[in-house]
Structure 1
Amino acid sequence: MAKRVLIKPLITEKSDQLNDQFNKVSFVVDKTANKIEIKAAVEEMYKVNVDKINTSILPGKLKVKFTRGGLQKGRKSSYKKAIVTLSEGESIDLFGEL
Structure 2
Amino acid sequence: MIRERLYKVLIAPQISEKATWVAEKHGQYVFRVAPDATKPEIKQAVEALFEVKVQSVQVVNIKGKTKRTARGVGKRNDVRKAYVRLVAGQDIDFADAE
Instruction: Report the TM range for the smaller structure's normalisation.
Output: 0.7 to 0.9
- Paired residues, what number? 91
Q: Residues 1-44 of structure 1: CA distance to partner in whole angstroms, max 9, x if unpaired?
A: 35310000011111100111111000000111110000000000
Name the CA distance, whole Å, in 2 between partners of 1:30 and 1:19: 21
Listed as ranges, the gaps of 5+ residues in structure 2 are none
Q: Residues 70-98 of structure 1: CA distance to partner in whole angstroms, max 9, x if unpaired?
A: x144321001110000011100012x27x
- Residue of structure 2 equivalent to 1:37: 41
Report deviation, 1:52: 0.6
Q: Determine whether 1:18 maps to 2:22.
A: yes
Q: TM-score, normalised by structure 1?
A: 0.85
Q: Determine whether 1:78 maps to 2:78.
A: yes
Q: Percent identity?
A: 33
- 1:19 alignment partner, SS class: helix
Structure 1 or 2: more helix by fraction: 2
RMSD, aligned CA: 1.5
Structure 1 or 2: more strand by fraction: 1
Listed as ranges, the gaps of 5+ residues in structure 1 are 66-70
Q: Greater CA radius of gyration, 1 or 2?
A: 1
